[in-house]
Structure 1
Amino acid sequence: MTVFKHKGAALTGAAVGLTAGMAWLWRNQATLATSRPLNEWAFTHMSALMPTDPVCRSARPQPFLWRERPMECTYHYAGRQRTLDDLHRRTHTTGFAVVHRGVLVHECYPGLFASPRSRFQLFSLTKSVTSMLIGIALEEGALSSLDRTAVSYLPELTGSAYDGPTVAHLLDMCSGAGGVEDYADPDAPISRFERAVTGNGSVLDVIRSLPRAGTPGSVFNYSTLDTQVLGWVLEAATGVSLARYAAERLWGPMGAEHDAYYFLSRRHPRTALGGGSLNASVRDLARLGMLMARGGTWNGRQVIPASWTERSRGAQDSHLAVGALGPGLPGHYGYANQWWTLGGEHRAFTGLGIHGQYLWVDPVADVVVVKTSAWPTADDTGRDAETVAALTSLVSWLSSRD
């Protein structure tokens, strides 16, 4: 009997230890999934970790024209001339593509789990795609005006900090709701939002709990929760999910080669993240960039209003200008329409996602660059500055060889 008691105690202890270990993994799942080297796998396998809603590829895929060119350009950073191979190594590039004048001239996949068919987790680069969809919905009349308030589409937000801001305020991150987006602060709104998405919390409750921090339209405050509300506005206005609208209005018309998907929150009713859950292939991201570079057209068809692509190149408001976004944000960026603007003669702009996701668009040079990455931290000013230096030099190098 003593033997059985010892065995029973051991089994009980093991069960308790396993339960505690599983609980720890559950609480820390986001940290583990975004830390190197596991993040290289996680960022290409989000469909294995979260529920999803598919964005179906085009019924008539249109492969890129392909003409490989050696990328012999260099860039200057931290006192040294460096190559694109240096960029990929130093900034943990997983996928990279360059489209010049509509032709795919370079493509590589340094990531351990990356390939042309991989769907990459785009994080906040998703916001720029949400903006494209808003522009289409406005042109179609599903959205009547950017001056309508968010709560006019979403009465469940009545009485919250989002009772007052307009769709235009949300597009430019000037809602006046919430606080600083700090992933390192467990009490920050973005951290509570992340826990609600990946755990069993209520995304709506997190958004309703945000404080009113300023007058709408007066101050830039980058907020993923603004774009979450914007995605809900789009779904309410169109009557379909983000995934279905993206498939019908973007993936289909531009001849996308691969299915994409949005991951969804775990708790029912599940919701896509208009500010951060799209997963797509590098080539299909490049197609989105081409749409934005060419005034919203694809093979002669107007997919996105030309005025919308122009709106994304820079705002007239002084508080959104390059270098004016406020402390803690890189001085080489401005903001407009859910895109980060770069100013200068070309008025280029880029979609950005944490951990190093870029969709770089230069309409004047007719260049689009896609870079997916697996940075060890959500934000990294040094890696961002180096990427900006490299991509700026790459565009100049391509333009000098026209």
Structure 2
Amino acid sequence: MADVTDQYLYRDALTTGKSWWERQGDLIMRRPFNEWTFTHMNRLLPTERVSRGGFRFPLAGRSRPLALTYRFDGREYTLPDLHRRTFTTAFVVLHRGELVHETYPGTFAGPRARFQLFSLSKSVTSMLIGIALAEGAIGGLDDPVTDYRPDFAGTAYDGTTLADLLDMSSGVGGLEKWDVPGADIKRFEAACLGRGTVLDVLRGARRTALPGARFNYSTLDSQLLGWVLEAATGRTLARYAAERLWSRIGADRDAYYWLSRSRPRTAIGGGSLNATARDVARLGLIMSHEGRIAGEQIVPRSWVRRTAVRNVPHLAVGALGPSGYDHYGYAGQWWTLAGDHRAFAGLGVHGQYLFVDPVADVVIVKTSAWPTEDDEPRDRETITALSRIAEHLSARSAVLTA
């Protein structure tokens, strides 16, 4: 595959007149190349391992067909339709803690493949913040960022609290637009890949609103949150995740964070975790079961419940404004959904999903290789299908127990 990759990049350079170095961010993301890159990020960037330790927790149950349809834009579709239409690479469904369905349509996918989770990493960072808060490493959510990172005094983040970062309400930066040259997220991407430094990008971001006043989705906020966690715990993000989370969930494989090429190298708390689909499902199991897995409390129950918060006006479903789709709200680095089941999801660009319905006790992991970073119709279709699966499994359980 390496030879094919080199030939692909060489042809692209001849066609565009630009080198791999100039276009690497776009090339990593482009179909069909991204089917490979999204499962081989450790071949492209430096990494830090997140060790699984010695504890094992095999998922009970077995995969079987899910014979259902979902209705989207006036038509009925099957799950194979979903996978074809939304470029699914891995799909894992848990119900009541057991594996009930699993498939890997991706070319390089399989149970042992580790998938690039992109911004789904933000939700994992949130879980780690909850653990650090319970341990006392972090004093409180009203603490200013500068208590942990005094080098941000005098920047746009001066006066921002941890709660503001968690809820994407820092008031720093503009809209996160991947197709706009010079946007904060494009400068951030360039710094991760070695052009400039990630620290300079964050320190140079501009204030655009008062802290806590409005929602503005921002990977920069999540990156700073990860740095706060590292400063508070005295550990790298990967090491803290290994000690407090990964080694306690019975993971199948080590995970890893890729690191910025620019120095000092840093994990991207808002987007560089890579893990197997089954292990991501274990994280969803924790969130569905109020912080517990294998009989042990991993994430504080109060922190998990905070994810369901929907009473902040500018974070309510449908109220996020131009940086969030109308079918989502937001709380603590998770996207919230309407309805009595109070479902929520961790999301990543190009179609990465960790869907949790705590009422139906359903967890669904879907990794994908979309052609573009964001795609509202594909996202809406995916959430429609995942919600339908939860509804189907919940109804079937009700019949079986009646």
TM-score for both structures, normalised by structure 2: 0.94
User: Percent sequence identity over matched residues?
Assistant: 60
1:262 aligns with 2:262: no
Distance change >3 Å, CA 68–CA 245, structure 1 → 2: same
2:342 to 332, 347, 356: 347
Q: CA offset at residue 21 of structure 1?
A: 8.9
Q: What is the root-mean-square deviation in Å for CA atoms of aligned residues?
A: 1.4
Give the deviation of 1:112 after TM superposition: 0.2
Deviation at 1:20, TM superposition (A): 12
For the Cα contact (< 8 Å) 2:176–2:323, is it kept in 1? no
Choose 1 or 2 for highest CA Rg: 1
The letter for the 2-side match of 1:93 is T
| 2:75 counterpart residue number | 80
Aligned counterparts, 1:3-402, within 5 A: 24-327=19-322, 329-402=324-397
The answer (yes or no) to whether the contact 1:150–1:233 under 8 Å persists in 2 is yes
**Number of aligned pairs?**
385
Q: Match for 2:145: what amino acid? A: A
Distance 2:139 2:17 in 1: 48
How far off is 1:400 after superposition?
0.9
How far apart are 1:327 and its partner, in Å? 3.0
Cα deviation digits, residues 25-53 of structure 1 (max 9, x gap): 11101111101000000000000000000
User: In 2, Cα distance between the equivalents of 1:386 and 1:19?
Assistant: 37
Which sections of structure 1, spanning at least 5 residues, go unmatched? 1-17
Q: Distance in 1 between matches of 2:16 and 2:362?
A: 49
CA distance in 2, matches of 1:42, 1:239: 31
Alpha-carbon separation, structure 1, partners of 2:228 and 2:256: 19
Mapped contact 1:314–1:347 kept (Cα < 8 A): no
Structure 2 CA distance for aligned equivalents of residues 173 and 57 of structure 1: 30
**What CA distance in whole angstroms lies between the structure 2 residues aligned with 1:37 and 1:170?**
34
User: How far did residue 19 of structure 1 move?
Assistant: 11
Query: SS of 2:330's equivalent?
Result: strand
Does the Cα contact within 8 Å between 2:287 and 2:356 map onto a contact in 1? Answer: yes
| Residue number in structure 2 paired with 1:4 | none
SS for the counterpart of 2:356 is strand
Q: Is the 8 A contact 1:179 1:189 kept in 2?
A: yes
Q: CA deviation at 1:200?
A: 3.3
State the 1:267 CA deviation.
Answer: 1.5
TM norm structure 1: 0.94
1:64 maps to a residue whose letter is L
Q: CA deviation at 1:81?
A: 0.6
Q: Is the 8 A contact 2:341 2:357 kept in 1?
A: yes
Specify the alignment match of 2:8 in structure 1: none
CA deviation digits over 1:185-224, x for unaligned, max 9?
1111000000010123111111111111111001000000
- Provide the C-alpha distance between the structure 2 equivalents of 1:374 and 1:81, rounded to a whole number of angstroms: 23
Q: Which runs of 5+ in 2 are unaligned?
A: 1-12, 398-402
Are the equivalent residues in 2 in contact too, given 1:94–1:371 (CA < 8 A)?
yes
Q: Distance in 2 between matches of 1:95 and 1:20?
A: 32
User: What is the identity, as a one-letter code, of the residue corresponding to 1:298?
Assistant: I
Distance 1:54 1:328, change over 3 A: closer
- State the one-letter code of the partner of 1:282: A
Distance in 2 between the 1:401 and 1:69 partners? 14
Q: Secondary structure at the match of 1:191?
A: helix
